[in-house]
Amino acid sequence: MSARVITVSQDGSGDYLTVQAAIDTVPLGNTCRTIIRLSPGVYKQPVYVPKTKNLITLAGLRPELTVLTWNNTATKIQHHQGSRLIGTGTFGCGTVIVEGEDFIAENVTFENSSPELLNEGSGQAVAIRVTADRCTFYNCRFLSWQVTFNKSEARISSSPTLSPIHRRWPTLYWNLKSYCLYDHLHDTLYLHYGRQYLKDCYIEGSVDFIFGNSTALLEHCHIHCKSAGFITAQSRKTSQESTGYVFLRCVITGNGGSSYSYPGRPWGPFGRVVFAYTYMDQCIKHVGWNNWGKVENERSACFYEYRCFGPGCCQPKRVTWARELMDEEAEQFLMHGFIDPDPNRPWLAQRMALKIPLSA
């Protein structure tokens, strides 16, 4: 069955004026691929893809020209859907919420534009939440601006004497240690449930900005650490779960400072994260991983690296409870089979082969 193509343009030249209006036309229980072609523009509206509105593609021309943005936070949610449907707090504050399976996005920016400062206590500011299986993102950007500590200071130094959070609350910071004040802020990409594949994407944030309990493969992605914090917070709860995040041939960059960001910490006791063939900037702490203030997490968390490189990669100084994988151990994480394990019913290859009509 051929795909249905519809267009969205804010100047009235398309089929619809808003992204949500186009999604609303897709029937529940949809079985036909619907490609929503987005004209360049900044679309200021929360977007919700409901359960069973499957097989939707959002396609822009270039990610920097096609921006979906809104400014909800965990404590301030304005949405056209009620909380009984989208949820509350971190779960409901995403600019885009995807619950329909087989969702694809290409050349789109997902942004949470909340400008709230640290001392206003507005909580997490999620750019997108994905609670759906078999979702893919190609050449997309995921941005959250809530990482600003002070409008006049864009850089966070690794030195306690220079960081604005240290200057404002020096005693409180050191008492809280790994919990610190950062724990109540900033989440960008909420990979909550299902399987996801991200390729050639840009993701930036500060604290726990890639988080959840999905099974995700991020390939050739650029991860940018805007300030002190943690890249991942994976929440696998038992060793029997197959969930986890794999970063394959990615690049991690920072703001010019040294040793201020951790690759991750376990949101769940069995959190699983793998970085393979990934460049790590000097922003990454040499100790690597953080236990979230719980020694017991060190016995269960599965934090691995494989043939990573760069100034932030320093295996001799890593914590003893995380390790470098052996070749045979790493093999399972270096293939698309990590998220698409059944060769008789492949889904990822079908998604990757999708061609969006140039005439759309």
Residues 147-201: tens digit of each pLDDT = 333 333 333 333 333 333 333 333 333 333 333 333 344 689 999 999 999 999 9
Rounded to an integer, what is the distance from CA 228 to the centroid of its chain?
17
149-155+182-340 maps to CATH 3.40.50.1980: no
Is 164 or 5 the better-scoring residue by pLDDT? 5
Band the pLDDT of 203: cuts 50, 70, 90. very high
Q: How many alpha carbons lie under 13 Å from residue 317 in its C-beta half-sphere?
A: 10
Q: Answer whether residue 228 shows pLDDT above 70.
A: yes
The residue type at 100:
G
The residue ranges of every structural domain in the chain are: 1-148, 149-155+182-340
Q: Is 11 a catalytic residue?
A: no
Model pTM score: 0.87
pLDDT at residue number 301: 98
Q: Among residues 187, 208, 281, 340, which one is catalytic? A: 208
Count other Cβ atoms within 10 Å, centred on residue 60: 25
pLDDT at residue number 179: 33
Residues above pLDDT 90, as percent of the chain? 72
* Same fold flag, 1-148 and 149-155+182-340: yes
Q: Return the SS3 of 67.
A: strand
Could you give the CA distance from residue 198 to residue 140 in angstroms, rounded to a whole number?
Answer: 8
pLDDT at residue number 92: 86
59-88 confidence digits (pLDDT tens): 999 999 999 999 988 888 788 887 877 888
What CATH number does domain 1-148 carry, 3.90.230.10, 3.10.150.10, 2.40.30.10, 2.160.20.10? 2.160.20.10
Q: Return the SS3 of 323.
A: strand
